[in-house]
A = this chain, B = another copy of it.
Amino acid sequence: MANEKKIDQVILGLLSHTDMTGYEIKKRMDTTLSYFWSGSYGSIYPALKTMEANGLVTSHSYSQNGRDKISYSITQSGRDTLSDWLKRPATRDELHYETLLKLFFAGEGSPSQALAHIAAFQARTEEGLPYLTRSVESLRAIQDNPAHMYYMLTAMFGEKIYNAYLEWCEEATSMIQEYEKKTQNSD
């Protein structure tokens, strides 16, 4: 009955803001949503087809700059579906930190490997943080629209945990380096 497929809800949510093509939806996931959601073309395009067949979205094809595009709009039925989903409590948050997993078992490897995993994680985080900081700043300025407040809140979440990541990276790195110094082990 109730549509629980998450990818559908994400797409409906994005379309509730503005019309988009499948390609744009993917891009949006890779930027605005990247710190709390992800999805591939292989899930987006089929989901759009299915939802159109079910009357949750409509499409119209057009050409822009010589490129063929298919833009999707949310229907009232789609809005109702999204609204129903928003009413229900979140079932759970699915977090799979491969980095943490490798660190947890790092006793089977070497300290330098552990340091490398942390450094890679740190680099990725540092790369993503400026985008979040900019988002928070620009959204703080425009308080016209309730939706903008919610965007800001999620961006604030991202900014906060990214900063927590970076703090942790520094602490963890120096603890492992201390340990290396004490044991004088090479690998």
- Residues of A whose CB lies within 8 Å of any CB of B are 6, 9-10, 13, 16, 33, 35-38, 79, 82-83, 85-87, 89-109, 111, 113-114, 116-117, 120-121, 145-147, 149-151, 153-154, 156-157, 160-161, 163-165, 167-168, 171-172, 175-176, 179
Of residues A97, A117, A156, A168, which shows the largest number of chain B Cβ atoms within 10 Å of its Cβ?
A97
- For residue A74, which residue of chain B has the nearest CB? B108
A179 with B90: in contact, given A101-B37, A167-B160 (CB under 8 Å)? no
Cross-chain contact B100 with A86 (CB below 8 angstroms): no
With a 10 A CB-CB cut-off, give which of A90, A116, A149, A156 has the most chain B CB atoms. A90
Contact A102 B90 (CB under 8 A): yes
Does A101 lie within 8 Å of B36, measured CB to CB?
yes
Is A93's CB under 8 angstroms from B82's CB? Answer: no
List the B side residues contacting A79 at CB < 8 Å.
108
Q: CA separation between A116 and B86, bound complex, in Å? A: 11
Query: Given A107-B146, A147-B107, A149-B176, A93–B86 Cβ distance below 8 Å?
Result: no
- Report the copy number of this chain in the oligomer: 2
**Chain B neighbourhood of A107, CB < 8 A:** 16, 145-147, 150
Which 5 A-B pairs rank lowest in CB-CB distance, beginning with the nearest?
Answer: A107-B147, A13-B105, A86-B109, A164-B164, A90-B98
Q: A149-B175, A153-B103 are in contact. Are A98 and B108 (CB under 8 A)?
A: no
Complex partner residue of A92 from B37, B98, B163, CB under 8 angstroms: B98
Return 26 A-B CB contacts under 8 Å, by A number.
A9-B101, A9-B105, A13-B105, A13-B108, A16-B105, A33-B101, A36-B95, A36-B97, A38-B94, A85-B102, A86-B102, A86-B108, A86-B113, A90-B99, A93-B97, A93-B99, A95-B96, A100-B154, A103-B153, A104-B151, A105-B150, A111-B146, A153-B172, A160-B164, A161-B164, A161-B165
